[in-house]
Amino acid sequence: MSEPHAHDHSHEHEQAHSHDHSQEHEHPHGQEHDHPHDHSHPHTHTHDDTVIEGPVAWEGITVPVADGPTPRVAWFHCFSGIAGDMAFGALIDAGADVDELRSMLARLPVSGWSIETETVLRSGIGGTKVHVHTESDPPARSAAVVAAIVAEAELPDRVRRRALATIRALAEAEGRLHRQPPESVHLHEVGALDAIIDVVGTCIALELLGVDEVASSAVADGTGTVRAAHGVLPVPVPAVVSLLAGAPTYGLDIERELTTPTGAALLAANVVEWGGLPAMTIERSGYGAGTADLGDRPNLTRVVIGTRSTAVAAEGQPVMLLEANVDDVTGETLAFAVERLLAAGAHDAWLTPIIMKKGRPACTVSVLVDPADAVAVREVLVRETGTMGVRGRTMERWPQARAFDTVVIDGHEITVKSTAGRVKAEHEDAARAARALGVPLRDIARRAEQAWRDR
C-alpha cells in the first residue's frame, strides 16, 4: 500500500513531544516486528506531506452528541493517567471485538502495521495491553496529512468525526506552542503510524461498543522531566497542559509521564462531562495497561460503560466530605494546603473559621472528593496540615454537566466554562488578560462570555 503522497522529507518534526515516554504507555517507534497478520492493502491515492489543497479534513467536524434520553456513556477513570494505547486497550478489555477492529483499521490508506493484544496483571488487576507493531522508519507527517489519511478511509461517521476531532485538538495545541498554523504542525505523537492506529482504533472501539457519549474523571499525571528532540521538557509536557486546559487534573508524586498527548487529545476532543462516575446502569468495564511498573499503583486506565439512568441521577453522585480541625497552622500553610488538595484531585476544598476548646481560634479544612480518590486526598490533608485525625462522611451531589472552550480576546486565550443556561470565563485567564491589557477584569470576562455566545 502506498503512503498518501509519499515524499522525501529532510526537515525535522516540528513537535515538542518526540521523546521516549518514561511512562512507556505509547509504543516504541522505529522497531521491526514479526507478526502473523498481514495488513497490506494497496491504495493508489496520495497526499502531499507539505501542502494540502483545499480545506483541512477536520474543518466543520463536530463531536457526536447523544440522540435520546438514555445514551450509552463510556467513562474513563484516569487514576494513573491515560495514553492512546491504554484507552484502546481498556475498550478492547471491555469487549470491543479485535477482529472487527482489525478489519475496520485496514480501511486506512497506510501499510506496515499490525496489532496484537495481551492479557497482563498490573498490581494484581488484570487488563489488556495493546501492541501496535509498525515499520522501522515512519515518514514525517503534518497534521493536515494525518487528517487526510483518516478522512480517506471509509469509516463510520462517528468514528471519522471523533478521530478527526482528536487530531484537530492536538494540532491546535501544538500550533499554539510552536506559533504555527495547526494544519502545518508536524506531529510525531499522532503523526506516527502506531499513534494513528491508537487514535482511530479507540474511536472504532467506541463505535463497536455503541458508545454515544464520552466522560472522564479528573486526569492524573506525574512529575519530573522527559527528554525531547529539542531538549528536556517538564512533566506534564506542554502539549498535555494545553490540551487539558479547563479539565480537572492533578499531580501524583511519581517521576514518570502518566498522561501522554495522544491520551490527552482523545479526552480533550471527545469528553462531554468531567467528574466522577456518571449516573448510569453499568453494563461492562475494562482496563487498559501501560508497560511501566508503578509499584503499588496499578498502571491502568479504566473504562466503565453503561446507560445513563435518570432514576440514579435523581439520587445524586456519591462524594466524600473529609474534614480536619486545626488550631496550630498559619494562614499561609492553610492556603497552600487548599492548593495541594485541589491539585490532588479534590472536587473542592475550603476553610471555615471556628472556635475550639479553651476558646482557641481555629479552622476546619473541608475537602469534597470522589470516593475513589479519598485515600490519596486524605494523605495530602494530613501531610500538609499536620492534623492528627481526619473525619469523613459520604454525601451526594448533583453537578451540572459542563463543557469547556477557548476564545481569544485581544490576543489572549481565555477558557470559558458553560452549563445549561450559563457561561462563565475562567477567572485566572481573564485576570491574566486584564493585567496585560490594563483593562477592568469584568470587561474581559464579559467580552469572553459574549465571544463564546457569538460563535
* Contacts of 157 by beta carbon, 8 Å cutoff, 6+ apart: 64
Please tell me the distance from the alpha carbon of residue 297 to that of residue 446, in angstroms, as a whole number.
44
Question: Positive or negative, the Cα torsion across 222, 304, 83, 405?
Answer: negative
Q: What is the pLDDT of residue 449?
A: 92
Please tell me the distance from the alpha carbon of residue 162 to that of residue 150, in angstroms, as a whole number.
10
Please report the beta strands in 123-183, taking only residues with DSSP state E, as ranges in sequence order: 125-134
Provide the pLDDT confidence category of residue 421 given band limits of 50, 70 and 90.
confident
Is residue 288 within 8 A of residue 259, CB to CB? The reply is: no
Provide the pLDDT confidence category of residue 39 given band limits of 50, 70 and 90.
very low
**Mean pLDDT, the chain, as a whole number?**
83
Question: Positive or negative, the Cα torsion across 370, 289, 37, 57?
Answer: positive
| Helix/strand/coil for 334 | helix
Please tell me the distance from the alpha carbon of residue 127 to that of residue 58, in angstroms, as a whole number.
33
| Cis amide linkage into residue 71, ω under 30° from 0 | no
CATH code given to domain 316-397? 3.30.70.1380
The average pLDDT across 394-411 equals 84
pLDDT tens figures, 152-205: 999 999 999 999 999 999 888 888 887 887 777 767 555 578 889 999 999 999
Task: Say whether pLDDT at 420 is over 90.
Answer: no
Provide the pLDDT confidence category of residue 298 given band limits of 50, 70 and 90.
very high
| Cβ-based neighbour number of residue 206 at 10 Å | 26
For the chain, the domains span 72-313, 316-397, 403-453
21 or 321, greater pLDDT: 321
End-to-end Cα separation, the chain, in angstroms: 41
180 secondary structure, DSSP code: S
pLDDT tens figures, 249-293: 999 989 999 999 999 999 999 999 998 888 889 999 999 999 888
- Report the candidate in 124, 130, 132, 39 with the shortest Cα–Cα distance to residue 91: 130
| Cβ-based neighbour number of residue 271 at 10 Å | 22
Task: Say whether pLDDT at 333 is over 80.
Answer: yes
Provide the pLDDT confidence category of residue 311 given band limits of 50, 70 and 90.
low
* Contacts of 155 by beta carbon, 8 Å cutoff, 6+ apart: 104, 107, 163, 200, 204
Provide the pLDDT confidence category of residue 15 given band limits of 50, 70 and 90.
very low
Provide the pLDDT confidence category of residue 111 given band limits of 50, 70 and 90.
confident
Rg of the chain over CA atoms, in angstroms?
A: 23
Q: What is the pLDDT of residue 23?
A: 45
The region that residue 30 occupies, defined by phi over 0 for left and psi between -120 and 50 for alpha, beta otherwise, is left
